[in-house]
Amino acid sequence: MGGSEQDYVNEAFDTNWIAPLGPNVNAFEYAISEKLGDEVHVAALSSGTAAIHLGLQLLGVEQGDEVLCQSFTFSASANPIMYLGATPVFVDSEKDTWNMSPSLLRKAI
């Protein structure tokens, strides 16, 4: 670590704000909100899985829905779908790019 990173790590331990909350997280959320404008709500989350879960909830995904999901992933990408009682529909990747295949995506839709 260089710069002020070590100071922030020490401060987190010294003030017992180890969990994904506290004054630094609040300041981060506020700074982003200020940059984007008053109409935007900001929430710093503890993981990408939490972000997918929140996003799916905000989209209204619920039990019985199907959600397209990249097959070249790990369980954390599909778990939030399952948390909501929806069904992940896995779409395979392109051979050359490893990205989701547009033609297979079209078929899945």
Residue 93 lies in a domain: yes
Residue 35 lies in a domain: yes
Residue 76 lies in a domain: yes
Q: Quick check: 105 pLDDT over 90?
A: yes
Is the same domain home to 38 and 68? no
Summarised one tens digit per residue, pLDDT across range 80-97 is 999 999 999 999 999 999
Nearest C-alpha neighbor of 48 from the set 40, 36, 56: 56
Is the same domain home to 28 and 65? no
Residue 49 lies in a domain: no
Distance of CA 75 to the CA centre of its chain: 13
Q: What's the pLDDT at 59?
A: 97
Mean pLDDT of the chain: 91
Q: Quick check: 23 pLDDT over 90?
A: no
Residue 50 lies in a domain: no
Is the same domain home to 2 and 37? yes
Is the same domain home to 66 and 109? yes
Q: Quick check: 35 pLDDT over 90?
A: yes
Looking at the structure of the chain, the number of domains it has is 2
Is the same domain home to 64 and 106? yes
Report pTM.
0.75
Is the same domain home to 40 and 84? no
Structural domain range at position 16: 1-44
Cα(62)–Cα(94) distance, integer angstroms? 29
Residue 79 neighbours by CB distance under 10 Å = 13
